[in-house]
Structure 1
């Protein structure tokens, strides 16, 4: 309910929403991280399916509403995507440059132990990137252009040993395309 209202607010007031883009990005990333974490636990698989059914499209809609608006510049789009799709080394370098020593774990506190690792956060980002790509037909051309500039990030992340093996072995719930049924498939084929 709150996420749907957030999508509406972002669509109606994109200029104001662009001022809180980091919070919007963290919201989408937390949803992705929690879904991934639940899908890796035997007792969380049903909850992960429900999250896929109810939240995946809405989470992407939240990002799309901000990326599609003509009221923000391409620079803001790129900044939002850079904030979402950045690896731990780049994040620490930016944090060091700004005289802070925060890590992604400090910025994104999650209660589930497995997603607080660097690998878990990178996998959540890969999952979010896949979701954005899956629904990219709804994006405007300028938003698609901004996202294509992040494909190098995806390829770089996928070459990391822990991420690569997890992507090959992880099973995740995905919508079958019609939106009526949820199927489990490997993260690699998603």
Structure 2
């Protein structure tokens, strides 16, 4: 990483965007009657693995906080910023360029935002595995989450959508409303942050909103 920072950053972005594609596929399948079984299988096999992969990127000591923020910005951005990024990007033989366009083409505008929300929900749920610096970076993204949830289409879908989730034991898949899943994951994040330096950032967020 130290010897080839530019190449390493590109690889990190490619891996991070793969996690978004997985989230987008899972959400899309979960909303189709014929895709529910497949979405359950994806949840069972890939939900925790996807978060573990993203956590490994965020936890590595070989990247700076600036790189962490960049990775999170790639994953958790509003639709306007996403379209601007896609428009400004030059054509390259890289997943960083291919995946956002591919995900966008296979999901609706609202669906893509919901896929990002779904991924963020999973990150919050398993945030105990993040190191202190990564927890702070994730906490700062709560402002993004709040902004996205105020979008009418997103808010309506969050209230009405049902998602497959792994239960606490990890042995059973249950269906839960997306709204309930977000609340439970946010509560989990708050408990985890209560004994970390990121708690002050969370307090500021709660007081401002």
The TM-score, its normalising length taken from structure 2, stands at 0.75
Pick closer, same or farther for the CA change 1:47–1:94 going to 2, 3 Å.
Answer: closer
SS of equivalent residue, structure 2 residue 143:
helix
Pick one of 40, 43, 46 that aligns with 1:52. Answer: 43
Residues 89 and 97 of structure 2 are in contact (CA less than 8 Å); yes or no, is this contact kept in structure 1?
no
Distance in 2, Cα, partners of 1:177 & 1:13: 40
> Is residue 110–residue 116 contact of structure 1 (8 Å, CA) maintained in 2?
no
The answer to whether the Cα contact below 8 Å between 2:160 and 2:178 also exists between their aligned partners in 1 is yes
What are the equivalent positions in structure 2 for 1:130-141 lying under 5 Å apart?
130-141=121-132
Cα offsets for 1:130-161 (capped at 9, x unmatched): 00000000100000001111111000000101
1:72 aligns with 2:63: yes
CA distance in 2: counterparts of 1:21 and 1:112, whole angstroms = 18
Which of 65, 76, 81 is the aligned partner of 1:85? 76
User: Structure 1's 11 and 67: CA in aligned 2 closer, same or farther, altered over 3 A?
Assistant: farther
Task: Measure the CA separation in 1 of the matches of 2:73 and 2:103.
Answer: 25
Report the CA distance between 1:117 and its aligned residue.
1.5
In structure 2, relative to structure 1, the CA distance for the partners of 1:15 and 1:55 (3 Å cut) is farther
By how many angstroms is 1:21 displaced? 1.8
User: How far off is 1:66 after superposition?
Assistant: 0.6
Residue deviations 1:2-26 (CA, integer Å, cap 9, x gap): xxxxxxxx99999975441221122
How much does 1:28 deviate?
Answer: 0.3
- Relative to structure 1, is the Cα distance of residues 111 and 145 closer, same or farther in structure 2, using a 3 angstrom cutoff? closer
CA distance in 1, matches of 2:5, 2:53: 11
1:1-190 equivalence runs, <5 A: 17-95=8-86, 107-108=98-99, 115-190=106-181
From the superposition, tell whether residues 59 and 172 of structure 1 become closer, same or farther in structure 2 (CA, over 3 Å): same
In structure 1, stretches of 5+ residues that fail to align are 1-9
The structure-2 alpha-carbon separation of the partners of 1:130 and 1:104, relative to structure 1 and needing over 3 Å to count, comes to farther
Kindly tell me the number of residue pairs found equivalent between the two proteins.
181
Report SS of the residue matched to 2:71.
helix
Q: Name the structure where helix makes up a greater proportion of residues.
A: 2
Q: Is the 8 A contact 1:37 1:112 kept in 2?
A: no
> Residues 36, 98 of structure 1: CA spacing in aligned structure 2 closer, same or farther, 3 A cutoff?
closer
Native 8 Å contact 1:38 1:45 kept in 2? yes
User: Structure 1 residues 136 and 123, CA, compared in 2 at 3 Å: closer, same or farther?
Assistant: same
RMSD: 3.9
